[in-house]
Structure formats: C-alpha cells, structure tokens
C-alpha cells in the first residue's frame, strides 16, 4: 500500500481526508500536525481526533521558533500586509509544507496529502513548496472529489468523524493571527457575531482604562515590551494578549484570492497590528524620505510573493537582503496608547533618528531662514511656466 503523509489540523476538511485517503485512494495514512503557534487545544485535538478514528501514526512537529524568527520577523521588517491582511495563514503554509516534506522523506512516503479545496489559496502555497522540495505525488481529496462543505459533513457523520462544532466556520490559527471564514460570514451583509472571535475583545468589552505600551525594536524587530526583553515567540504572544484585550486587530475585508475570487475574510491579528503600527512609526523617524517611499514598493511586492505562495522565489530572498540592510538602523522605542479598539502612537525615539528637534523647532536660529529665499523662488518652476505659457490655450 502506498504511504501518504497528510497535513492534519483536526478540522473538518482534514479529518474527512483521513477516511477518503483510505477508502477512495487505498493509501496508508500517516498524519502530522505542524505547530506554528496555534492554541494548545488545537495541537492536542488533532492527536485525539486521530486516536478516535483508528490506529494511525501521528506526529506533532514543533515549528514555533522557526515560524517566529524566520517567517514572522521577516514579515515585520517588510511591513507585510496584503489588502489589509497581515498574512498569518500565508506565512505559515510554506513552513508547514517544508516540515511535511521532511517527514514524508523520513517515513518513506511517496505521497503527500492536504485538505485544501479547489477555491482557496492554500492549495497553491502547499503544492508550490512540496513540488520544489520533493518528488512526492500530491493528493487533494476534497478538491479532487469536488466536495462541498455540507457533503463533507454528511460523509463525516457516516464514518463517525467528530464534527468540530455546530458552527461551520473554517478557522485557521497560528502565532501571527486567526482567520475565520465560511458559514454565515459568506454573506457580506452579515456582521460577524461575537462568537466568531476568540483572540480579541469587542471594543465594548475592552477595559475602560487606556494602557500605554512601550515597545523596543532592535534592527527592525521587537525586542522588549515595557522594558522586559523577550524572545520572538514570547513577544508576539504578549502583543497578541495585550492588543487583544483592548479590542485591537479585528479585520473584515473583501480579499482578492489568487484565482481571482473575491472572498469575505474575517481576521483577528492583534499582535500583528500592534507590532506593525509601532514598527512603521519608528521607521518614520529613522529612514529617509526616499527610503520610506521605496520601502512601500518593496513591502507591496514582498506581500504579494507571500500571499501568492511563492515564498521560495529568489526575489523574496533578494528583497530580504535589501530589507535587512535598511533595517539595521531601525532600533529604538515606541510608546503606543491602546484604548477600546483603537491605538495611537504617543512617543518614539531612536539613536538613529533623523528627526532633530533643535533644527525643526520654531525657536531655532541655527538654520538661517533667509537662505531659503532662492530655493523657494525657483520651486515648482515647470508648473509656473505651464500656468504662464499654456494655461489659456
């Protein structure tokens, strides 16, 4: 029997895949859940779901540190954001695929399976990496059998697969954020009910008192909160906790998927919004105008590469080189005030700041104002000529 490693989350799609791979594909199934910082119960649940379904070899692969240091930190330096979405799922997929390929090689499997549908982005992200790192056959039962979600539910019931809950949201979580799709949320006129959220308070439930957070960055990445030094994993989790408490990081967008479908997407990414907001605020006092402008172009290209599942494109590595060079100076401290779903920068400082209070101050006499006369006089020369010569044509 052919051995297949299934990327398993314990959700409806991948649970259904276990049985389909046996019944319809006649394969020996090995399951693996890659830990990219999802809540503990989402790591424990897959193991118990598999146990309840039969005797399978199941692996939990801890990739949290790698995800935080080698993926999220790069995204922070790049200010990666696609149409308002901090790319939580998109960033984790390549790493999950890499870990699954490694496991397939170790276990001598000739195939790798995933539970993606044929409508989403994750099929591209998984398969792009799998194909470039291995010769394994790729199996995608939900897509290949063209199953709808309610057909999956019926099939799950028929073979005793536990259904996650009465809600049919499709949820994906990792350290950088939580994505909630499907069910009633597919109607863009429906406001997401409170039960769709679990990382963030609504602004009504957020504390009455504002909180000021002091975040220190070193070379473009967060290094300490309120004076306390922390590693990547802890600092991101702490930011999720603090910003989530204050109701920050809920996103409700219509997103353009790779295949062109517009989809309604709900995200909770409190830590990502807190960190990215602080990071950009710090860059504003450090980078030159031309660097800031170019960084926006870099950021948009970077984000598209990540969203489109081409993490392994050499351009991404090229951009990382440029970004790392630019981020050497992005060191300093930012103070952010969080209150009832909103946040505001209330302070920033850096040893590399190009903001010079003495020079910009209205009280300064060192920069002689009279020296500006010539520069101002010939400013917008072409516009002046156009208005004089051509305007009455």
Distance from C-alpha of 393 to C-alpha of 388, rounded to nearest angstrom: 11
Binding mask 100-129 for ligand ARG (x = CB under 6 A): ---------------------x--------
Backbone φ and ψ of 176, nearest 5°: -90, -10
Among residues 92, 88, 149, the alpha carbon closest in space to that of 115 is found at 149
Tokens for 203? 């602004």
Please say whether the beta carbons of 238 and 230 come within 8 A.
yes
Query: Among residues 175 and 287, whose Cβ is nearest to ligand ARG?
Result: 175
Query: Among residues 212 and 254, whose Cβ is nearest to ligand ARG?
Result: 254
Query: Among residues 170 and 201, whose Cβ is nearest to ligand ARG?
Result: 170
Tokens for 206? 């957020």
Rule CB under 6 A: is residue 90 a binding residue for ligand ARG?
A: yes
Please say whether the beta carbons of 311 and 132 come within 8 A.
no
Distance from C-alpha of 308 to C-alpha of 125, rounded to nearest angstrom: 7
Tokens for 281? 């605020």
Give the residue numbers annotated as catalytic, written as ranges. 13, 93, 122, 170
Q: Which of 15, 31, 89, 123 binds ligand ARG (CB under 6 A)?
A: 89
Q: Is 68 helix (H, G, I), strand (E, B) or coil?
A: helix
Q: How far is the CB of 42 from ligand ARG (least distance, A)?
A: 13
Backbone φ and ψ of 268, nearest 5°: -125, 110
Q: How far is the CB of 259 from ligand ARG (least distance, A)?
A: 11
Question: CA 239: distance to chain centroid?
Answer: 14
Q: How many CB atoms lie within 10 A of CB 327?
A: 25
Q: How far is the CB of 85 from ligand ARG (least distance, A)?
A: 7
Among residues 197, 227, 234, the alpha carbon closest in space to that of 341 is found at 197
Enumerate residues 261-290 that contact ligand ARG by CB under 6 A: 265
Query: Among residues 265 and 283, whose Cβ is nearest to ligand ARG?
Result: 265
Binding mask 162-201 for ligand ARG (x = CB under 6 A): --------xxx------x-x--------------------
Please say whether the beta carbons of 31 and 138 come within 8 A.
no
Q: How far is the CB of 124 from ligand ARG (least distance, A)?
A: 9
Give the interface size with ligand ARG as a residue count (CB under 6 A): 10
The helix (run of H) or strand (run of E) holding residue 173 is: strand 170-174
Enumerate residues 305-364 that contact ligand ARG by CB under 6 A: none
Could you tell me if residue 160 is left (phi over 0), alpha (psi between -120 and 50 degrees) or otherwise beta? left
Q: How far is the CB of 149 from ligand ARG (least distance, A)?
A: 11
How far, in Å, are 110, 261, 291 from residue 106 at the CA level? Answer: 11, 37, 45
Query: Among residues 81 and 90, whose Cβ is nearest to ligand ARG?
Result: 90
Q: How far is the CB of 14 from ligand ARG (least distance, A)?
A: 10
Enumerate residues 246-265 that contact ligand ARG by CB under 6 A: 255, 265
Query: Among residues 117 and 301, whose Cβ is nearest to ligand ARG?
Result: 117
Enumerate residues 3-62 that contact ligand ARG by CB under 6 A: none
Which stretches of the chain bind ligand ARG, using CB under 6 A? 89-90, 121, 170-172, 179, 181, 255, 265
């Amino acid at each position: 029997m052919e051995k297949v490693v299934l990327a398993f989350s314990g959700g409806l799609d991948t649970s259904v895949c276990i049985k389909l791979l046996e019944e319809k594909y006649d394969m020996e199934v090995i399951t693996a859940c890659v830990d990219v910082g999802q809540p503990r119960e989402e790591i424990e649940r897959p193991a118990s779901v598999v146990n309840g379904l039969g005797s399978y070899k199941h692996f939990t692969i801890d990739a949290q540190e790698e995800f935080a240091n080698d993926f999220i930190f790069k995204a922070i330096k790049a200010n990666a954001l696609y149409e308002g979405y901090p790319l939580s799922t998109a960033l984790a997929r390549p790493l999950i695929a890499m870990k699954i390929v490694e496991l397939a090689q170790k276990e001598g499997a000739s195939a790798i399976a995933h539970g993606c549908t044929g409508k989403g982005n994750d099929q591209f992200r998984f398969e792009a990496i799998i194909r470039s790192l291995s010769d394994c056959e790729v199996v995608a039962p939900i897509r290949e059998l063209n199953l709808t979600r309610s057909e999956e539910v019926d099939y799950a019931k028929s073979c005793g697969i536990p259904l996650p809950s009465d809600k049919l949201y499709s949820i994906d979580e990792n350290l950088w954020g939580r994505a909630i799709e499907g069910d009633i949320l597919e109607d863009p006129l429906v406001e997401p009910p409170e039960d769709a959220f679990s990382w963030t308070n609504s602004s009504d439930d957020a504390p009455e008192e504002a909180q000021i957070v002091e975040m220190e960055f070193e070379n473009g990445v967060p290094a300490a909160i309120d004076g306390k030094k922390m590693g990547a994993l802890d600092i991101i989790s702490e930011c999720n906790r603090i910003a989530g408490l204050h109701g920050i990081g809920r996103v409700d967008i219509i997103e353009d998927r790779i295949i062109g479908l517009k989809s309604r997407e709900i995200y909770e990414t409190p830590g990502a919004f807190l960190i990215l907001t602080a990071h950009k605020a710090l860059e504003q006092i450090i980078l030159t105008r031309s660097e800031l402008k170019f960084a926006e172009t870099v950021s948009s290209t970077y984000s598209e590469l990540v969203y489109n599942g081409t993490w392994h494109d050499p351009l991404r590595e090229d951009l990382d080189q440029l970004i790392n060079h630019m981020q050497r100076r992005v060191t300093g401290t930012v103070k952010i005030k969080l209150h009832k779903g909103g946040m505001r920068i209330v302070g920033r400082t850096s040893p590399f700041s190009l903001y010079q209070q003495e020079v910009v101050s209205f009280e300064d006499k060192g920069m002689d104002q009279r020296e500006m006369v010539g520069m101002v006089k010939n400013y917008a020369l072409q516009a002046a000529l156009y208005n004089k010569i051509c305007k009455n044509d």
